[in-house]
Structure 1
Amino acid sequence: MTNQPHPSSPQMTSGPVIRRGGQAMGPTTDQRLLDTRHGQKNDDPWRVLRIQAEFVEGFGALDELGPAVSMFGSARAGEDTPEYAQAEYMARELVSRGLAVITGGGPGIMEAANRGAHEAGGCSVGLGIELPFEQAMNQYVNLGVNFRYFFARKVMFLKYAQGFIAMPGGFGTFDELFEALTLIQTRKVTNFPVVLFGSAYWEGLVTWLRTNVIDGGYISPVDVDIFHVTDDPDEAVRVVTAQI
């Protein structure tokens, strides 16, 4: 009789490959690409082919998606939190307006948004990422793509969405948010609404931008008009869909 893996054993997804238990340990593809300590430069030209394949897979899967909104937020928000319910509600409303909903495909706020979109009968997209710990695609994704490289995944979030809703979250949420704000500020993308949902959560950041950053001359006063802050789910949906 063979030993079956324990349900809680570590799991790591690397493209089409799933590793569990002892096989799940080790560096991610991104880590190997960016790690210059071990003299792997000779492998870099070959990595271009894998990177190319990720873009081809992403473009192929999402090419006929239609109008969509990307929603970001914490993977740690439980089903009993207000943020989870609000994300689910906004996703439902977006679907009712004929939009797809794109998330990172993980738990928490991402799951809530995918759940709302899926249960409303819409297209619920998950763009997963290889991590050194388990973060399986949530069960409410009905169109999912797993990526090895963060930069390839970020292109898909921006290329196939016409707007962002950023809910309370951590470094991953900040990363996607500031990527979008930078592209809007530098006019790499146009007509791209960004909503920060949860004024109490975002207040410190917005105040810092309006004082330290603007007063220091690091951004222009008009740059803080790139995003809209609200606590009203319906207002968030109206703002993010106004130009779609």
Structure 2
Amino acid sequence: MTRARRSVAGGRSKRRPAVTEDQELLDSDHNNGAWIHTDPWRVLRIQAEFVDGFGALAELGPAISVFGSARTDPDDPYFQLGQSVATGLVNAGFAVITGGGPGIMEAANKGAFKAGGVSVGLDVELPQETGLNDFVNLGINFRYFFVRKTMFVKYSQGFVVLPGGYGTLDELFEALTLVQTGKVSASPVVLMGVAYWAGLFDWLHERVAADGNIALTDVNLMTLTDDVGVAVQIMADAQSASSL
């Protein structure tokens, strides 16, 4: 399968700038007044990223986003789990969307690519990462995190979350918040890695829900499993239900 990468707002090399576009946009130091002249033009660049992202993914079809750490080594069992679940998703008729980077993202793209499926990478400009992995056959480069996040949510029918750090937790809780508040249609969220996530589940039950800050039904928006078949079946069942 050949790669057909598309770069939003023009191609860029893998060399990342010391200061990203996100940082420049969100920097609170506006004392010199330069933002008055630069930010209105930046809005047009943001608009272009949305338009190009929508155009690139509009005909993607059913897809599942797979999130997880960029730091996971290929010999880690979670890397193998990410590859396996992506293969299962492709065999069930889904495209697979990741952040396009290394680690779990590369594992999922590899599983989708080798299974002959659509392997999507939504790359974002970060100083410490090096662009799309070699198993992406539809790749898009973004400057802005919030544009990229919109693409994950808009074009995914569900989310599979493997062990990760701050970025993974951010993606997990953003998906949960949007489902909880009804901002997106009910989308299944599956956490894979029982040993890794069990403490989070316990804390949500025993502290957050017990204190009344969420309902127990909110915890039940997630399914915790190590079983690839279970994860894939949850996604397939949700897709079947949505098409009734």
| TM-score between both structures, scaled by the size of structure 2 | 0.90
Aligned to 1:235: 230
Aligned to 2:72: 77
Query: What is the distance in 2 between the residues matched to 1:15 and 1:215?
Result: 49
Encode CA deviations 1:170-227: one digit per residue, 9 max, x unaligned: 1111011000000011011123000011111111111111111112211111111111
CA gap of 1:25–1:97, structure 2 versus 1, over 3 A, is closer
Deviation at 1:16, TM superposition (A): 2.4
5+ long unaligned stretches in structure 2: 1-7, 240-244
Deviation at 1:15, TM superposition (A): 5.7
> Of 148, 159, 169, which aligns to 1:164?
159
What SS does the corresponding residue of 1:164 show, helix, strand or coil? Answer: strand
What SS does the corresponding residue of 1:98 show, helix, strand or coil? Answer: coil
What SS does the corresponding residue of 1:48 show, helix, strand or coil? Answer: helix
* Equivalent pair of 1:129/1:149 in contact (CA under 8 Å): yes
Matches within 5 A, 1:139-178: 139-178=134-173
* Equivalent pair of 1:105/1:127 in contact (CA under 8 Å): yes
Aligned to 2:35: 41
Q: Does 1:26 align with 2:21?
A: no
Deviation at 1:29, TM superposition (A): 0.3
Encode CA deviations 1:129-184: one digit per residue, 9 max, x unaligned: 00012322000000000100000000000100100000000111101100000001
What SS does the corresponding residue of 1:236 show, helix, strand or coil? Answer: helix
Deviation at 1:17, TM superposition (A): 2.7
Q: Given residue 218 of structure 1, which amino acid in structure 2 is its aligned partner?
A: N
Query: What is the distance in 2 between the residues matched to 1:192 and 1:171?
Result: 22
Matches within 5 A, 1:93-132: 93-132=88-127
* Equivalent pair of 1:15/1:147 in contact (CA under 8 Å): no
What SS does the corresponding residue of 1:146 show, helix, strand or coil? Answer: strand
Matches within 5 A, 1:185-196: 185-196=180-191
| TM-score between both structures, scaled by the size of structure 1 | 0.90
Query: What is the distance in 2 between the residues matched to 1:171 and 1:19?
Result: 23
Encode CA deviations 1:44-103: one digit per residue, 9 max, x unaligned: 111110100000110010000000000000111111111111111111111111110000
Query: What is the distance in 1 between the residues matched to 2:142 and 2:94?
Result: 23
Identity %: 58
Aligned to 1:133: 128
Root-mean-square deviation (CA), in Å?
1.6
* Equivalent pair of 1:15/1:130 in contact (CA under 8 Å): no
Query: What is the distance in 1 between the residues matched to 2:88 and 2:229?
Result: 8
Deviation at 1:18, TM superposition (A): 2.4
Q: Does 1:68 align with 2:68?
A: no
Count of residue correspondences: 229
Q: Which runs of 4+ in 1 moved over 2 A?
A: 13-20, 38-41
Encode CA deviations 1:1-26: one digit per residue, 9 max, x unaligned: xxxxxxxxxxxx99623274xxx543
CA gap of 1:51–1:82, structure 2 versus 1, over 3 A, is same
Aligned to 1:89: 84
Matches within 5 A, 1:200-239: 200-239=195-234
